[in-house]
Amino acid sequence: MQTAYLQTPLGTASITGDDNGIAAISIRDGDHEVTQKIPKTLQPAVKQLQEYFDGKRTTFDFKCNPQGTEFQQKVWQELLNVPFGKTVSYMDITKKLGDVKAIRAVASANGKNPLWIVVPCHRIIGTDGSLTGYAGGLWRKKWLLEHENPSAQQSLF
């Protein structure tokens, strides 16, 4: 596994992967040294994340290889269906998976998403429209939602 670091408006992104794909993207508080020589296998992810923050990208197409249980993988796959600039509730995801009683499990899988931004767990909100739970902090979730849909900030928050 190789790792590269990218400075973003929200902190330093850590991108980890190998020839099988990107396994993890996470955010760190504070400034960390940005990787000067980015390993070839990580270059597409670093480039596309930078384009996202520059407002030039709404989807990602680099190879991903997140590790998780079968249920987590199903939830993460469903998260990929949430369009850029839109939000859905945990209950919406639960219904799409076919078991409304699994809402806590869906929320847990959402929180364990290893691919920050790429698998858009930040687009999942409470049934009442509130910002709920976000491993990176609610301020980051709010920033990401406003970045993707600036006109929604007044209706969401």
Catalytic residues, which ones? Answer: 121
Identify which of 94, 153, 104 has the alpha carbon closest to the alpha carbon of residue 133: 104
Identify which of 143, 146, 134, 36 has the alpha carbon closest to the alpha carbon of residue 90: 134
Contact 153, 146 (CB under 8 A): yes
Helices (H), the chain: 43-53, 70-79, 90-97, 103-111, 138-148, 153-156
Element housing 17 (H / E): strand 11-18
| Pair of tokens at residue 131 | 């910002």
